[in-house]
Amino acid sequence: MIRRRVVVTGVGVITPIGIGKETFWAGLMEARSGVGRISRFDASGFDTRIAAEVRDFDPAAFMEKKEVRRNDRFVQFAYAATRMALDDAHFTITAQNAGQVGVLIGSGIGGAETWENQHQILLERGPGRVSPFFIPMIIVNMAAGIVSILTGAKGPNSAVVTACATGGNAVGDAMRIIQRGEATAMLAGGTEAAITPLSVAGFCSMKAMSTRNDEPAKASRPFDAKRDGFVMGEGAGMVLLEELEHALRREAFIYGEMVGYGMSGDAYHITQPDPEADGATRSMANALRDAAMAPADVQYINAHGTSTPYNDRTETLAIKRVFGLHAGKVAVSSTKSMTGHLFGAAGAVELITCALALQHQVLPPTINYEFPDPECDLDYIPNAPRSAAVDAAMSNAFGFGGHNATLIVRRYDRR
């Protein structure tokens, strides 16, 4: 079977440091932190009182008011990012092409805000007052469903839930669909809006989050020796993937070509990564094998880099095992230092970051890198962006349950 080539022709992002690719990229280049005091609810009684919120999002700018009322924030994010990706690609879904345009969007948690709000209504006002939209508003697949309904895309339609690997898996699985010839174009990505009292309380109980409440902007510090946990974020990342010949026929701008996708499972622990980094190692190695590339062919890695003691150490170990002597030469950064951890959206937003890095030939930094950790001793692009010649970039997304996903995007060579 002929494996079709797949390219990225449109991107849409909603993040704590910017809505839209231009504002988002400017935030990365300014090394700006999106972390601050939680404003969506009273967090005064919580151990962690900070998060990376999307503070200036108006869903009514993207969908009708009745649709805003009927959809949870995570779905609103997904649709808004989708509209941006379609506009960016100058791509119109019509009656003629709708059957060849698919949707694959994931979320790690889904409609957390709606769940909590409606549970409170149940307790205070009784079962008869629970919204008839409650179930559709909370289920993870509804992001893909609503995007399909509102855009008219009738091709393959699915959702993926692999915790913090979700965004990476969604883009990778969509790539596979086009490679197999089952669609000409796919809208793919991840979305999350879980900064809610119950979600924050749960992560606080796990002792997984930073408690640097007095210095929010310095709380997310991947690979730094004084890191003390991740910072919750929210947002969405969506890409339009197209079969190469289709993109060329319509003279689309190409951010890059999707060339590698690797997956693996740790089979180790519900939350902690395998300390020997076996799963992460195999995920990256599988992506390189899929791309038919050598480690030296990759110039940049957007790391999963959560700012937790376990993850950063094991990911560093995995990079060393996969890249060998090249590990010290490849540039690595974690943009979670600026955006916080977007959970199910992280892998997609960070793949978009790689695509933009290829376009601009500039690498985003790891901010708050102040105190080197002997166990994390790679080139993490500390604190400021770096101009560099980049032909290929790798994006890692690892999730609770031992899910690992790795993507590789390469500059498109028109020869």
* Residues 190-214 pLDDT 10s: 999 999 999 999 999 999 999 999 9
Query: Which pLDDT value is given to residue 285?
Result: 98
| Over residues 308-326, mean pLDDT | 97
Chain segment 5-58, per-residue pLDDT in tens: 999 999 999 999 999 999 999 999 999 999 999 999 999 999 999 999 999 999
Reported as a pLDDT band with limits 50, 70 and 90, residue 399 is very high
Catalytic residue among 90, 119, 164, 246: 164
The domain defined by 261-410 folds into Peroxisomal Thiolase; Chain A, domain 1 (3.40.47)
| Over residues 302-331, mean pLDDT | 97
| Over residues 130-150, mean pLDDT | 97
Query: Which pLDDT value is given to residue 309?
Result: 94
Percent of the chain predicted with pLDDT > 70: 100
| Over residues 268-274, mean pLDDT | 92
CATH topology identical between 6-249 and 261-410: yes
Query: Residue 143 pLDDT > 70, yes or no?
Result: yes
Reported as a pLDDT band with limits 50, 70 and 90, residue 415 is low
Q: Which CATH architecture has domain 6-249?
A: 3-Layer(aba) Sandwich (3.40)
Confirm whether 164 is a catalytic residue: yes
Catalytic residue among 119, 246, 269, 341: 341
Chain segment 161-175, per-residue pLDDT in tens: 999 999 999 999 999
Average pLDDT, the chain: 97
Catalytic residue among 90, 119, 246, 304: 304
Task: Kindly report whether the global pTM for this prediction surpasses the value 0.85.
Answer: yes
| Over residues 111-128, mean pLDDT | 97
SS3 labels along the chain: CCCCCEEEEEEEEEECCEECHHHHHHHHHCCCCCCEECCCCCCCCCCCCEEECCCCCCHHHCCCHHHHHHCCHHHHHHHHHHHHHHHHHCCCCCCCCHHHEEEEEECCCCCHHHHHHHHHHHHHHCHHHCCCCHHHHHCCCHHHHHHHHHHCCCCCEECCCCHHHHHHHHHHHHHHHHHCCCCCEEEEEEEECCCCHHHHHHHHHHCCECCCCCCHHHCCCCCECCCCCECEECEEEEEEEEEHHHHHHCCCCCCEEEEEEEEEECCCCCCCCCCCCHHHHHHHHHHHHHHCCCHHHCCEEECCCCCCHHHHHHHHHHHHHHHHHHCCCCEEECCHHHHCECHHHHHHHHHHHHHHHHHHCEECCECCCCCEECCECCECCECCCEECCCCEEEEEEEECCCEEEEEEEECCCCC
Chain segment 80-107, per-residue pLDDT in tens: 999 999 999 999 999 999 999 999 999 9
For the chain, give every domain's residue range: 6-249, 261-410
| Over residues 246-255, mean pLDDT | 98
Query: Which pLDDT value is given to residue 2?
Result: 87
